[in-house]
């Protein structure tokens, strides 16, 4: 056992260039290398791949990996080859001759890992090939695809149970990032993994910073966020509609951001080109509907931004989970406002779905809104929703800059009465803008025309600005004290529960507006404490990671070397026809930029540089460092 563990560590260091296993990795690897079956649940970016790649290298024979997504398969194989591992795939992108050659090498025992699409494996020919191989293990990636209730259901996955029957002595490891217990039970049942040991890892993604702000001008807010904190970095922006995707992308491009729109309305070939560019080039921002993301394995996505409210926390967590797979700091950023609440509620109300379905959709939306409005730690809230207990994280907006709360009962009473009085005076109800204008005592044309400057609630809310009133209304909407009548120009109506507030029987603790205003002032404060100029997260990490304050003056020099290394990497990636991150991750380049190594062997110990990469790229990297020293 110990022997396996130390051999596994050596492979981790020599081949993959990493010093230590993460969390459960070592245990999973020794268990599988020892012949055991395993079910592995890890969040996206947790490091599932090594859990089968290392045992495949430890055991005799070839590790057979079943993976549903061709693009993922290809990237993984490219990355493995870069690390000197003998890996190949068999899927529909190979022509007959190429496939023959891969099969021949597999039979000859010349492969460590063979990736297969499930439909390929299940053919007569696929199974006949397996019969002839010495198999180290079966890895079933994205195992939740067996779940008929899940959104990624794949018919062929059900038939993978055949592996248990045909090859009872070959260990099997099933992996997924889908958290819930029902899916877990389904995987065990359908893949005949009753004897497997389960490894369930925390779903926390500590390197992701969660931030949610009030929406005033979403595009401007987004642009500022990207320019100030993520200039030149890769990111994904999610929007709800195709139109919004296109307009947002265009706005970003006009301001010099390398943005590409992506939604199901584009031709497949067009979508593919964009996805490939996003994967292979540095610093591209994809603006997309949720059609984008499944199977995106890019490790260095530095931010995921939502300019519209997701429908559920499941969706939000999956989408934000695409940030920071490499473990380096990343941000999940969102702006949301009244219109989002109104829109999502309307979508549910107007859907054709059955009543029970609608009830579930409403509950999911409420949980999502709860995250937006909570004054507690966002991460704690999220993990609790997924059934995990934790303390405040120190890495979300609420932890870093605790929002002020106040007894909002009186303010809520004013707003509720104003909605009521406007309707009473005119015989029909009014929308947000008008009600707030009356509250604030504004003599707009509409206010005057309706005579609402003469009702008792006119001007009783002049002490707060429009943004503050909107924030209060948003909270009353999320608490379902006020409803929006979608069939009638989105006018506001009191919900029955509002009576308790009006009577004073129920007191409301509200969160003070976390508006753009407050988001900006936070930033100002932070800036005073930290460096002089706006920093990218990357720059911020570098500074905090560095040995001490004396490292700060070196930051520009380091940044220049980092950029030079990226240029070099881009060239190599192009030459090899692979995504840049399969050559070396950003985190590796940063470490090199920090060290300024003078000789190739000084690169050993840089995370991500194993023996193969050292041999292949060592000299070239040192040359880049030298050139940079000369230039600087
Ligand atoms: P998952 O499949 O769980 O989403 P991956 O297997 O793609 O995650 O791993 C995510 C990232 O973490 C990859 O960039 C991988 O190289 C890196 N990684 C995995 N294990 C380790 C480790 N022990 N040390 C350092 N980096 C690791
Ligand atoms: Zn927190």
Angle at 240 between CA 236 and CA 241, to 5 degrees: 110
What pTM, to 2 d.p., does this model score?
Answer: 0.71
pLDDT tens for each residue of 475-492: 898 888 998 887 788 899
The pLDDT assigned to 237 comes to 97
Atom of ligand 1 nearest to the CA of 51: 6
Neighbours of 151 (CB within 10 A): 12
What pLDDT is attached to residue 538? 40
pLDDT at 558: 87
End-to-end CA distance of the chain, in Å? Answer: 51
Nearest CA to ligand 1 atom 23: 21
Ligand 1: list residues with CB < 6 Å.
18, 21-22, 25, 42, 44-50, 297, 299, 325-327, 585, 607
Ligand (nearest to CA of 51)? 1
The β-bridge relationship of strands 491-494 and 482-485 is antiparallel
Q: Which ligand is nearest to the CA of 390?
A: 2
Give dist(CA 612, CA 614) in Å, integer.
5
Q: How far is the CA of 396 from the centre of ligand 2 (A)?
A: 4
Ranges of residues in the chain whose predicted pLDDT is under 50: 515-552
Best residue among 12, 27, 49 to mutate for probing ligand 1, ranked by most atoms within 8 Å of CB: 49
- Taking the centre of ligand 1 as the mean of its atom positions, its distance from the CA of residue 177, in whole angstroms, is 13
Q: Which residues of 607-618 are buried (b: 16+ CB within 10 A; e: fewer)?
A: bbbbebbbebbb
Q: Set out the domains of the chain in order of their start, with CATH numbers.
A: 3-200 (3.40.50.300), 208-404 (3.40.50.300), 406-511 (1.10.10.10), 537-631 (1.10.150.80)
pLDDT of residue 480: 84
Residue 514: predicted pLDDT: 53
Query: What does the H/E/C string look like for 456-518?
Result: CCCCCCCCCCHHHHHHHHHHHHHCCCEEEECCCCCEEEECCCHHHHHCCCCCCEEECCCCHHH
**Adjacent-strand bridge partners of 21:** none
Give residues whose Cβ lies within 5 Å of ion ligand 2: 377, 379, 393, 396, 399
> Distance, CA 390 to ligand 2 centroid (Å)?
10
Q: Report pLDDT for 295.
A: 66
Q: Sign (positive/negative) of CA torsion 278, 282, 284, 285?
A: positive
């Amino acid at each position: 056992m110990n022997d396996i563990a130390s051999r596994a560590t050596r492979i981790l260091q020599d081949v993959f260039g990493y010093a230590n296993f993460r969390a459960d990795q070592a245990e999973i690897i020794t268990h599988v290398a020892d012949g055991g079956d395993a079910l592995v649940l890890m969040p996206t970016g947790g490091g599932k791949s090594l859990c089968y790649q290392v045992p495949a290298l430890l055991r005799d024979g070839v590790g057979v990996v079943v993976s549903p997504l061709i693009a993922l398969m290809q990237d993984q194989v490219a990355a493995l080859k870069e690390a000197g591992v003998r890996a190949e795939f068999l899927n529909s992108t190979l022509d007959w001759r190429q496939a023959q050659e891969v099969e021949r090498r597999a039979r000859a025992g010349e492969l460590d890992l063979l990736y297969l699409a499930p439909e390929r494996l299940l053919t007569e020919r696929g199974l006949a090939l397996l019969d002839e191989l010495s198999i180290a293990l079966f890895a079933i990636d994205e195992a939740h695809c067996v779940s008929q209730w899940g959104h990624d259901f794949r018919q062929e996955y059900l038939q993978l149970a055949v592996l248990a029957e045909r090859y009872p002595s070959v260990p099997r490891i099933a992996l997924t990032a889908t958290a819930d217990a029902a899916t877990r039970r389904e995987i065990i049942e359908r893949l005949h993994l009753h004897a497997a040991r389960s490894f369930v890892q925390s779903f926390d993604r500590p390197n992701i910073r969660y931030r949610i702000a009030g929406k005033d001008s979403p595009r401007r807010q987004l642009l500022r966020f990207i320019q100030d904190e993520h200039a030149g970095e890769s990111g994904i922006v999610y929007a709800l509609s195709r139109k919004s995707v296109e307009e947002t992308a265009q706005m970003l491009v006009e301001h010099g951001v390398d943005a590409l729109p992506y939604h199901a309305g584009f031709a497949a070939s067009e979508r593919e080109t964009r996805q490939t560019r996003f994967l292979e080039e540095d610093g591209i921002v994809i603006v997309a509907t949720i059609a984008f993301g499944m199977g995106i394995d890019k490790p260095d996505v530095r931010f995921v931004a939502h300019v519209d409210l997701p429908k559920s926390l499941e969706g939000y967590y999956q989408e934000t989970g695409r940030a920071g797979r490499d473990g380096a700091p990343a941000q999940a950023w969102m702006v949301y406002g009244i219109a989002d609440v109104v829109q999502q509620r309307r979508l549910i109300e107007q859907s054709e779905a059955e009543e029970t379905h609608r009830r579930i959709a409403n509950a999911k939306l409420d949980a999502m809104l709860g995250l937006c409005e909570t004054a507690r730690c966002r991460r704690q809230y999220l993990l609790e929703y997924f059934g995990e207990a934790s303390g405040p994280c120190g890495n979300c907006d609420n932890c870093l800059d605790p929002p002020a709360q106040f007894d909002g009962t009186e303010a809520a009473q004013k707003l509720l009465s104003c909605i009521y009085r406007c309707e009473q005076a005119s015989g029909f109800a009014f929308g947000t803008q008008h009600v707030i204008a009356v509250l604030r005592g504004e003599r707009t044309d509409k206010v005057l025309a309706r005579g609402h400057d003469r009702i008792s609630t006119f001007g009783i809310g002049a002490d707060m600005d429009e943004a503050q009133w909107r924030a209060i209304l948003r909270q009353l909407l999320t608490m379902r004290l006020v409803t929006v009548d979608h069939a009638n120009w989105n006018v506001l109506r009191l919900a029955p529960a509002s009576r308790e507030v009006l009577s004073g029987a129920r007191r409301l603790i509200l969160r003070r507006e976390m508006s753009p205003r407050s988001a900006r002032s936070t930033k100002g404060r932070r800036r005073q404490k930290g460096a002089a100029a706006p920093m990218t997260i990357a720059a911020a990490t570098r500074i905090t990671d560095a040995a001490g304050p004396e490292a700060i003056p070196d930051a520009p020099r380091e940044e220049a070397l980092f950029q030079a290394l990226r240029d070099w990497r881009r060239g190599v990636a192009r030459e090899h026809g692979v995504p840049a991150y399969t050559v070396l991750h950003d985190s590796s380049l940063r470490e090199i930029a920090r060290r300024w190594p003078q000789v190739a062997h000084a690169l050993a110990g840089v995370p991500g540089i194993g023996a193969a990469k050292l041999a292949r790229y060592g000299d070239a990297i040192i040359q880049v460092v030298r050139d940079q020293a000369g230039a600087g």
